[in-house]
Structure 1
Amino acid sequence: MLRIAIQSKGRLFEDTMALLQEAGIKLSTSKRTLLVQAANFPLEVLFLRDDDIPQTVAGGVADLGIVGENEFVERQEDAEVVRRLGFSKCRLSLAIPKEEEYTDVSWFEGKRIATSYPCILKDYMSSKGVHADIHVITGSVEIAPGIGLANAIFDIVSSGSTLISNNLKEVEVVMQSEAVLIANRQLTPEKRDVLKELLFRIEAVKSAEDKRYVLMNAPNERLKEIIAVLPGMKSPTVMPLAQEGWSSVHTVLDEKCFWEIIGKLKSLGAEGILVLPIEKMIL
């Protein structure tokens, strides 16, 4: 059985639980306990603080962990990144008071920077040849300049609204982050097999994201033109209709180019276009 450590609350917790549910793993969350076993898969979930997950996985207390990449890099623990998960995206950025004039990273020379991510910040400043006073704090980092504790901050940014409300502006993006699945490097062959099945399920869920199954009726004389504009996984499915001279065309479209392609299909004579969501996709 695999033990996976996940964040005990917050957005990352919600996104992780949704992923496991979509992967068909049934977990009881009616009573929050430290350890919960899945009902239909050899997996148990250990709920922890996000900053404890890298060490827990590297030390073998948990076999796997889902954690923000920012926390994993900051903790510098020896674990393996198995898969990037594409959710809980954010960035680690430097921000300064809005009224300050900023040219480049040399602005931070000799300045005091408040952060909860000193290791990442130290490496970045070192790579730029800048010497700054890194002041480590936890909690509300963004208030540090306003109370005179620091000249700038280095913190997580999602929408940027927190910076604006504290009269700060983002000036340097140091790192992009998202949720990652990490694993202990010493997994047994049996646990590797379970991990392989878990990854198969996750891949099926992630492959279906932002994809739509599209069915349409197409005049046979325009079939070649219609098929030419379809960027499906492989060749689309084409089946004759009862009405002579028409066929049914089935394909999968990426949502980001969906409306552009639909417009082209209509101009080529496609009719009765039906769009369906995809829950899982096995490639």
Structure 2
Amino acid sequence: MLRIAVQAKGRLFEETMTLLSESDIKLSPSKRTLLVQSSNFPLEVLFLRDDDIPQSVATGIADLGIVGENEFVEKDEDAQIIKRLGFSKCRLALAIPKDIDYPGVSWFNGKKIATSYPVILENYLKKNEVKAEIHVITGSVEVAPGIGLSDAIFDIVSSGSTLVSNRLKEVELVMKSEAVLIAHNELSEEKKEILNELLFRLNAVETAQDKKYVLMNAPSDRVDEIIQVLPGMKSPTIMPLAQEGWCSVHTVLDQKRFWEIIGKLKALGAEGILVLPIEKMIL
């Protein structure tokens, strides 16, 4: 049985639960229970505060954890990242009042910076040979300059709207972050086998993201041209239709180029185009 620690609430909780559900790991929907066991996979989920997850994995209380990379780096615990999950993306950045002219990172010398991430900030300042006072606070870091608590802030930025509403501007990008799957350094062989099966499922879900399964009818004499247009996973499937001179073409398309490719297919005579979502893809 593997135990995985996940955030008890918030956006990361929602996206983690969606990922596990798409991996066909069935869990009770209750948020009040500290520990929930899957009914169809040897996995139990431990719900914790996000900043407690790295330590719980490092000490073996949990075998795995899903946590923001920013929290993992900040806590600097003895565990390992085994997979980047691609959601809950954000960045850690330095921001100052928007009316100040910013000449470069040397501006922070002698300044007071408010943050909830002192370890990451201290490492960045040392790397850039900047001597500043770090003021550690929790909660609404972005209000600190406005009330005279600091000259600048170092905090998470997603859309940047919170900075704008507090008359701040981002001046230095320090770190990009996303949700990561971390693991205890000394898993048993039995737990490694379960982890490998979990990774297999997660990879299948990830591969299917932004992919569409496309079926179309096409003139047989244009098939070679159509194949040249299709950037499918491998060679598309071609099957003859009952109507002479026509065939059915099946392939997989990436959402990013979907409409561009569909337009080219129609120009080559493809019709009856059917587009289906892909739940999982196993390579």
TM-score, normalised relative to structure 1: 0.98
Cα distance in 2, alignment partners of residues 125 and 225 from structure 1: 57
* Residues 96 and 171, structure 2, Cα contact 8 Å, conserved in 1: yes
Q: In the TM superposition, what are the counterparts of 1:198-237 in structure 2 within 5 Å?
A: 198-237=198-237
* Residues 116 and 137, structure 2, Cα contact 8 Å, conserved in 1: yes
SS in structure 2 at match of 1:88: coil
Q: In the TM superposition, what are the counterparts of 1:111-122 in structure 2 within 5 Å?
A: 111-122=111-122
Q: Partner of 2:26 in structure 1?
A: 26
Specify whether residues 89 and 147 from structure 1 end up closer, same or farther in structure 2 by C-alpha distance, changes over 3 A only.
same
Q: Partner of 1:145 in structure 2?
A: 145
Q: Partner of 1:102 in structure 2?
A: 102
Cα distance in 1, alignment partners of residues 202 and 254 from structure 2: 19
Q: Partner of 1:238 in structure 2?
A: 238
Alpha-carbon distance, 1:59 to partner: 0.5
SS in structure 1 at match of 2:106: helix
Q: Aligned letter for 2:192?
A: R
Alpha-carbon distance, 1:218 to partner: 1.0
Cα distance in 2, alignment partners of residues 155 and 268 from structure 1: 52
Asked whether 1:197 is paired with 2:197, we answer: yes
Q: Aligned letter for 1:191?
A: K
Specify whether residues 67 and 128 from structure 1 end up closer, same or farther in structure 2 by C-alpha distance, changes over 3 A only.
same
Q: In the TM superposition, what are the counterparts of 1:3-152 in structure 2 within 5 Å?
A: 3-30=3-30, 32-152=32-152
Alpha-carbon distance, 1:31 to partner: 5.6
- RMSD of Structure 2 on Structure 1 (CA): 0.9
Q: Aligned letter for 1:92?
A: L
* Residues 113 and 135, structure 2, Cα contact 8 Å, conserved in 1: yes
* Residues 2 and 63, structure 2, Cα contact 8 Å, conserved in 1: yes
Decide which moves more: 124-133 or 14-23.
124-133
Q: Partner of 1:183 in structure 2?
A: 183
SS in structure 2 at match of 1:146: helix
Q: Aligned letter for 2:24?
A: G
Cα distance in 2, alignment partners of residues 170 and 68 from structure 1: 21
Alpha-carbon distance, 1:96 to partner: 0.6
SS in structure 1 at match of 2:147: coil
SS in structure 1 at match of 2:74: helix
Decide which moves more: 102-111 or 234-243.
102-111
Alpha-carbon distance, 1:30 to partner: 2.8
The percent identity for this pair of structures is 76
Alpha-carbon distance, 1:220 to partner: 1.3
SS in structure 2 at match of 1:120: helix
Alpha-carbon distance, 1:29 to partner: 2.3
Specify whether residues 40 and 160 from structure 1 end up closer, same or farther in structure 2 by C-alpha distance, changes over 3 A only.
same
SS in structure 2 at match of 1:92: strand
Q: Partner of 1:248 in structure 2?
A: 248
SS in structure 2 at match of 1:164: helix
Q: Which runs of 5+ in 1 are unaligned?
A: none
Cα distance in 2, alignment partners of residues 45 and 38 from structure 1: 8
Asked whether 1:259 is paired with 2:255, we answer: no
Cα distance in 2, alignment partners of residues 68 and 238 from structure 1: 44
